[in-house]
Every structure is written in structure tokens, then in C-alpha cells.
Amino acid sequence: MSKHVNNPKTAQWQAMSRAHHLAPFSDYKQLAEKGPRIITEAKGVYLWDSEGHKILDGMAGLWCVAVGYGREELVEAAATQMRQLPFYNTFFQTAHPPVLELAQAIAELAPPGMNHLFFTGSGSEGNDTMLRLVRHYWACQGQPNKKIIIARENGYHGSTVAGASLGGMKGMHEQGDLPIPGITHIPQPYWFGEGGDKSPEEFGLWAADQLEAKILELGVENVAAFIAEPIQGAGGVIIPPESYWPRIKEILAKYDILFVADEVICGFGRTGQWFGSDYYGLKPDLMTIAKGLTSGYVPMGGLIVGDKVFDAIEAHGDFNHGFTYSGHPVAAAVGLENLRILKEEGIVERVRAETAPYLQSRLRELAEHPLVGEVRGVGMLGAIELVRDKATRTRYPDEVAAGMVCRGHCFTNGLIMRAVGDTMIIAPPLVISRAEIDELVEKARKCLDLTLRDLSA
């Protein structure tokens, strides 16, 4: 498998990191001591680091490399577009073919009635756009007081000021005096972690009912929208109990507020449907997208705007918002080619019919492991809960950092599996094969064994 090459450049790169590079979501003290692992190459579902280690990428980069690494067609699409028109803006009544073709292609895949695209450079910018657009929509409707956005604890919606405010990550809110006014959070539908004595179904209804309680507390005349990920990704691949979304849908139907599905992770096939909203039969007014849209080969995000919202803002005229790189032609060309690959190779159908059921059944075998309290997943998303006591869902003490111990073993054994606290999560490229799924599950099992050994010591 891997060869340890002792590349002298590794140390140089690590020194450059310490001297100049501020990495996202990193502990700078730790990074200074250990230096980052330097990733140099990738192909299919595998990465190689600068020391020659081969690693199965169980996280598809960062939930994004849907079609896998090394797709020449995407390289060609970018190069061709760069030669023809590397940049032009889409402000002030101009456009270019790739952005228009991509907008049409996405509208064709999106749920009915979702026909309009605003492009951004990232998912965070997509959610910033959403916040401004939603408030603008209500102002256009003569209801400027409908401003508050209801979001969820432990949701993730990005790292800009609006994105981090919409997200429900306490560690992010603590840094920078967030959330900004006009954003409030309700509990998440995380049964394993927070369900207590309730059954999953009871807990799902309770969590959904928190939305109605919050709307009534704030007054519906003040509430603009509810935003949620169909399945929470960064929060720990949290699959709501089956009772959750149907009850949320009832509540949304009852009150005059908008529903925003954040599809940054769930979109473009991750659940085995084109969108997480299709998987759960949701009817969003707006959907945030990014990641799988370009398989991460170039940055791009956006907001899919439903006809109801679009018609109102079109009638009004101006929307004073946009980014230099909104609808960047190279990103649009890559996005278009990525969607062509997903469609023509039947990748989403294959996930739904074949590889996701296989991944899910193989992952569930790990539920027998003494360290594992629950295995859950949908499509190409999975979570493994590490516990000290299965029956009572009791965790190891925080100081033990069981998740980080497991993550360390994974890295050493050639598997990238993320730890969110003591929840191990995976989201491999959608093109992962059965043989590669076998490898992923066997490596995960080995690392659970090694983790248990360490924790028992």
C-alpha cells in the first residue's frame, strides 16, 4: 500500500504553514506543534500525502467531491472556459453562456416551482444572500417587520457573519459576538444525543413542535423564515426521527413563513435523491447549494429561489446584492460538466439503488461493536456513535476525547473519518465502489478496535 518516503519537503511545508498560513477551524497552538499533514495528490476516492501514504477519503474532501478526484472532463471544462472567457461579471445587465446554461440545468433538477438561481462563491455566501433576499421579499410584500429567521441549535450554515449566526454552533457564537440580532434557534432533532427517555418518534414530534412554539412566542408577524438542513451534516450526520419532517411540514403549512432548505451537503445526490428535500418530500421556498454542485473542483455556491419569492422581487425591481464572482464562468462551466457526469453516468441512481444500500448495510454491522452505541445513515452519509455504555447511551468523559482517538487511528490506518465530538462521520465520494466500501468498513472496524483498546487501557 503506502510507502513512507520521508520527503524532506514535508518539514519545509510545515514550517511555511506555521510562518504564514492561518488554516480554517484549527487550533493554532496545536498546529504549530505538530504541523499539518500535507496532501499532494488524489485519484478516485484516494488521497496521497507528501510522505507517500495512501488514504481512503471517507469525507469526499469536505462533503464535496461527489464524482471523485481526477476527472479529466472537469479539468478540460475549466481549461476550455478559461481560454474562451476566463472572467466576466454578471452585474449591470450582462451574462455569459455558462452561467445561463448552469442556471437552467439546476432548475431542471430542482423540485417543481424552483426555477431561479442566484450564484455565489460558497455556501456561506449563499446563506448571506438568503438572509438579505428573504427580508427583502417580506418588505416587497408590505410586511417589513417579518425579519426574524428561526434556525436550529447545532445546525451549520457557514462561517460568514450571517452563516455563523444562522448556524447553531456555540463555539462559533462565542467568538465575535454572534448571533447577530434577528436570528434565533430551536432545539435540534438529535435523538441519540438529546432524546432522553423519549422514544425517537416522541422526541421527533417534540423537536418539531418547538418550531410552532417559537413562531407563537415571537409572533408570526415578525417571523420571516425557518432554515434547516434536511440532514445536519457538520453537526454530526443527524438523521431526524421519522416523525420530525412531517410535523414540521404541517407547521410550515399553518403559518405564513418561508422555508429554506440548506442543501449544501444534502444536494446533488448525497441522499440518493437529487436533493435532501426530495428525499423527505419537503417543499422549500429557497434552497442553499454549494459543494457537490462543482464536486469541489472550483468554488461555487448559490441560492435556488422558488417562483413565489422570485415573482415578488421581480415585480419590485432592484435587489442590491452580489459578489464579483457570482456566476463565475469557469466555475459555471465546471458545474455544468459535473452535472452532466452525474446525470449521464447515472451516479445518483446508482447511489440510490445500489451503493448506498450496500454502504448502509455494511456500516450497520459495526453496531455490534462494543464501543458503538448507534450506527445511522442515509445515502452516502453515515454516523457511528462512540459510547462507554450501549444500553444507556453513556459517553466517555470529555477529557478522554474518544472521537479524536478514533480519528487519529483512522488517519494512521489510511482512512479519513471525521470526529464530531464522539460521533464518527463519513460522507465518501458518490462514486465509491462496493470494494472500496468494503475497505472503508474494514478499516473503520479496525480503528474502532484500536480505539477500544486505548480507551480500556
Least CB distance to ligand PXG at residue 371 (A): 22
Please say which residue, 59 or 205, places its beta carbon nearer to ligand PXG.
59
CB-CB contact of 23 with 17 (8 Å): yes
CA 160 from chain center: how many Å? 15
Angle, helices 402-412 vs 434-456, to 10°: value is 130
> What's the CA gap between 66 and 440, in Å, rounded?
17
CA torsion, points 174, 178, 184, 185, in degrees to nearest 10?
A: -30
Q: Which stretch binds ligand PXG (CB under 6 A): 47-55, 117-125, 179-187, 364-372?
A: 117-125
Among residues 329, 330, 348, the alpha carbon closest in space to that of 339 is found at 348
- The nearest distance, CB 24 to ligand PXG, in angstroms, is 7
- Our CB check for ligand PXG shows the closer of 331 and 452 to be 331
Which of 60/333 has CB closer to ligand PXG? 60
Using a 10 angstrom Cβ sphere, with 0-12 exposed, 13-18 middle and 19 or more buried, the burial of residue 8 is exposed
Minimal distance, residue 28 CB to ligand PXG, in Å: 17
CB of 294 to ligand PXG, least distance (A): 11
Query: At closest approach, how far in Å is the CB of 93 from ligand PXG?
Result: 28
In whole angstroms, how large is the CA radius of gyration of the chain? Answer: 22
Considering only residues 143 to 172 of the shown chain, the ones binding ligand PXG according to CB under 6 A are 156-158, 163
Residue 37 identity: R
Instruction: Answer for the pair 257, 224: CB distance below 8 angstroms, yes or no.
Output: yes
Q: Closer to ligand PXG at the Cβ: 240 or 301?
A: 301
Give the residue nearest to ligand PXG (CB): 123
Task: Determine if 262 is a binding residue for ligand PXG (CB under 6 A).
Answer: yes
C-beta neighbour count of 223 within 10 angstroms: 25
Pick from 110, 183, 215, 264 the residue near ligand PXG by CB under 6 A. Answer: 264
Q: In the complex with ligand PXG, which residue's Cβ is closer, 215 or 426?
A: 426
Closer to ligand PXG by CB, 163 or 329: give it. Answer: 163
Name the residue nearer to ligand PXG (CB basis): 130 or 140: 130
30 φ/ψ sector (left φ>0, alpha ψ -120 to 50, else beta): alpha
Instruction: Give 213: exposed, middle or buried? Use CB within 10 Å, 0-12, 13-18, 19+.
Output: exposed
- From the CB of 140, what's the least distance to ligand PXG, in Å? 25
Residue 326 touches ligand PXG, criterion: CB under 6 A: no
Point out which residues pair with 387 in neighbouring strands.
none
Of 210, 271, 285, 203, give the one whose Cα is nearest residue 242. Answer: 203
User: Residue count at the site for ligand PXG (CB under 6 A)?
Assistant: 18
What is the closest distance, in whole angstroms, from the C-beta atom of residue 295 to ligand PXG in the complex?
A: 13
DSSP assignment of 354-408 equals IIHHHHHHHHHGGGGSTTEEEEEEETTEEEEEE-SBTTTTBPPPGGG-HHHHHHH
Which residues within the stretch 208-237 sit at the binding site for ligand PXG (CB under 6 A)?
229, 233-234
Give the footprint of ligand PXG on residues 118-137 (CB under 6 A).
Answer: 122-124, 127
Specify the residue, 105 or 172, whose C-beta has the smaller distance to ligand PXG: 172
Point out which span in 38-46, 247-255, 262-270, 435-443 binds ligand PXG (CB under 6 A). Answer: 262-270
CB of 404 to ligand PXG, least distance (A): 14
Tell the smallest beta-carbon distance from residue 403 to ligand PXG (Å): 13
**Distance in Å, CB of 434 to ligand PXG, minimum:** 26
62 binds ligand PXG (CB under 6 A): yes
Q: Which of 143, 321, 158, 329 is nearest to 225 (CA)?
A: 143
- Annotate 81-95 with DSSP letters as a single string: HHHH-S-----TT--
Can you tell me the distance from the alpha carbon of 108 to that of 114, in angstroms, rounded to the nearest whole number?
9
> Which residue in 168, 189, 195, 301 binds ligand PXG (CB under 6 A)?
301
Of 83-91, 249-257, 258-266, 443-451, which part binds ligand PXG (CB under 6 A)?
A: 258-266
| Least gap, CB of 266 to ligand PXG (angstroms) | 8
C-alpha cell at 106: 439546476
Contact of 203 with 195, CB cutoff 8 Å: yes
In terms of CB distance, is 158 or 428 closer to ligand PXG?
158
Task: Give 367's contacts (C-beta < 8 A, 6+ positions apart).
Answer: 374, 375
Q: Is 185 in the site for ligand PXG (CB under 6 A)?
A: no
Q: Tell me which stretch binds ligand PXG (CB under 6 A): 34-42, 261-269, 339-347, 389-397.
A: 261-269
* Residue ranges in 186-205 that form contacts with ligand PXG under rule CB under 6 A: none
User: CB of residue 96 vs ligand PXG: minimum separation in angstroms?
Assistant: 23
What whole-number distance in Å separates Cα of residue 277 and Cα of residue 256? 19
Phi–psi pair at 33, nearest 5 degrees: -75, -45
Instruction: Summarize as ranges the residues that interact with ligand PXG (CB under 6 A).
Output: 62, 122-124, 127, 156-158, 163, 229, 233-234, 262, 264-265, 288, 290, 301
